[in-house]
């Protein structure tokens, strides 16, 4: 049954939501051990099935700030030489893993809207010697990536943060080549979320 709450859009300003998300994840980058209402770091990566060999050589700071909800690399195998876009790349852990898998003949673009995370991700790329990854500032709803550029789009724990999920999915389709793959880690809710709960920004940012 379709309910009113399914159709209720949040009434707060989108910029306010983006600001709150940036503040939340910048805090994770600055102080990953503080304790949040989600797991973080290496224990989370282990829980989600990230292989130790994927994390080898990645800066600990990048691993410590990891806050994904799934594992895009367990969904399908990335191939050598492929182009990958990582949406909401955060501290860069998934982009750096993708860069290792696709190798020097492949390319990875990580996109994030949070300057603190971009700074951390770029530092991690330099430290790990990844020359085939770059991080660009942008929004999931308007990706700074050309049409049909990517073989694979990955994302981890980001789609649920976006009020307009269709716009984000359409952008993912735009940057993918025909038959390109979407490999996403995210969340689903099994119970209806009441309309008033949808107005609480802290429920969106977490």
Q: Report the distance separating Cα 74 and Cα 54, nearest Å.
A: 12
Q: 167's torsion region: left (phi>0), alpha (psi -120 to 50) or beta?
A: alpha
Is residue 129 at the binding interface for other proteins, with CB under 8 A as the rule? no
Segment lying near other proteins (by CB under 8 A), choices 24-32, 110-118, 131-139, 184-192: 184-192
Q: Report the distance separating Cα 90 and Cα 68, nearest Å.
A: 9
Name which of 99 and 172 has its Cβ closer to other proteins: 172
147 and 166 in contact (C-beta within 8 Å)? Answer: no
Site string for other proteins, 80-109 (x = CB under 8 A): ------------------------------
Q: Which of residues 34-73 bind other proteins (CB under 8 A)?
A: 35-39, 44, 47-48, 69-72
Name which of 43 and 57 has its Cβ closer to other proteins: 43
| Residue 193 burial (10 A CB sphere; 0-12, 13-18, 19+) | middle
Segment lying near other proteins (by CB under 8 A), choices 58-66, 89-97, 130-138, 186-194: 186-194
Give the tokens for residue 100. 């290792």
Segment lying near other proteins (by CB under 8 A), choices 55-63, 84-92, 93-101, 164-172: 164-172
Run of H or E including 205:
helix 201-205
Segment lying near other proteins (by CB under 8 A), choices 79-87, 102-110, 120-128, 178-186: 178-186
Task: Cite the DSSP H helix spans in 48-138.
Answer: 52-55, 60-64, 93-102, 115-128
Task: Cite the DSSP H helix spans in 69-109.
Answer: 93-102
Q: Which residues bind other proteins (CB under 8 A)?
A: 1-4, 7, 35-39, 44, 47-48, 69-72, 74-76, 166, 169-170, 172-173, 176-191, 193, 197, 203, 206
């Amino acid at each position: 049954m379709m309910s009113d709450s399914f159709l209720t859009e949040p009434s707060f300003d989108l910029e306010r939501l983006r600001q709150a998300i940036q503040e939340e994840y910048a805090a994770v980058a600055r102080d990953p051990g503080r304790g949040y209402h989600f797991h973080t770091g290496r224990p989370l990566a282990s829980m989600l099935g990230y292989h130790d060999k994927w994390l080898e050589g990645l800066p600990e700071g990048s691993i410590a700030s990891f806050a994904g909800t799934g594992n895009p690399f367990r969904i399908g195998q990335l191939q050598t030489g492929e182009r990958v876009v990582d949406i909401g790349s955060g501290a860069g852990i998934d982009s750096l893993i993708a860069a290792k898998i696709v190798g020097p003949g492949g390319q990875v673009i990580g996109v994030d809207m949070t300057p603190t995370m971009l700074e951390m991700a770029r530092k991690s790329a330099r430290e790990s010697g990844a020359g085939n990854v770059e991080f660009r500032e942008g929004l999931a709803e308007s990706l700074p990536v050309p049409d049909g550029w990517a073989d694979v789009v990955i994302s981890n724990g980001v789609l649920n943060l976006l009020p307009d999920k269709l716009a984000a999915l359409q952008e993912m389709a735009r940057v993918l080549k025909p038959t390109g793959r979407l490999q996403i880690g995210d969340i689903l809710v099994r119970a209806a979320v009441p309309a008033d709960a949808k107005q609480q920004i802290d429920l969106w940012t977490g």
